[in-house]
Amino acid sequence: MKTSPPRALLHLALVAAWLAWGCLGSSALTRLYVLAPMEGTPESDAPAMSVGVGPVALAGYLDRPQIVTRPSADSIDLAEFDQWGEPLRDGISRVLAEDLSRQLPAARISVFPSRGLAPIRYRVEVDVMRFDGPAGGETTLEARWRILDNATGKELAGQTTLRTEAAGGAGYTRTVSAMSRALAGMSREIVDALIALPR
User: What does each of the 199 residues of the chain score in pLDDT, given as a tens digit?
Assistant: 454 555 655 555 554 554 444 444 445 799 999 999 998 788 777 889 999 999 999 999 999 999 999 999 999 999 999 999 999 999 999 999 999 999 999 999 999 887 766 789 999 999 999 999 998 899 999 999 999 999 999 999 999 999 999 999 999 999 999 999 999 999 999 999 999 998 7
- pTM summary value: 0.83
Pairing of strands 66-72, 75-84: antiparallel
User: Is there a contact between 178 and 168 (Cβ–Cβ < 8 Å)?
Assistant: yes
**Hey, what domains does the chain have and what are their CATH numbers?**
5-196 (3.40.50.10610)
User: Which pLDDT score, from 0 to 100, does residue 113 have?
Assistant: 82
The DSSP line for 153-179 is: --EEEEEEEEEEEE--SSSHHHHHHHH
Distance CA 64, CA 86 (A): 10
Q: What is the dihedral of CA 92, 127, 143, 183, to 10 degrees?
A: -10
Distances (CA, A) of 74 to 14, 71, 106, 167, 171: 48, 8, 44, 21, 22
Find, among 3, 4, 44, the residue nearest to 191 by Cα: 44
Find, among 73, 51, 76, the residue nearest to 62 by Cα: 76
Q: Buried b vs exposed e over 112-130: b needs ≥16 C-beta within 10 Å?
A: bebeeeeebbbbbbbebeb
User: Which pLDDT score, from 0 to 100, does residue 21 have?
Assistant: 47
Distance CA 102, CA 36 (A): 13
Helix (H, G, I), strand (E, B) or coil at 105: coil
User: Which pLDDT score, from 0 to 100, does residue 116 have?
Assistant: 67
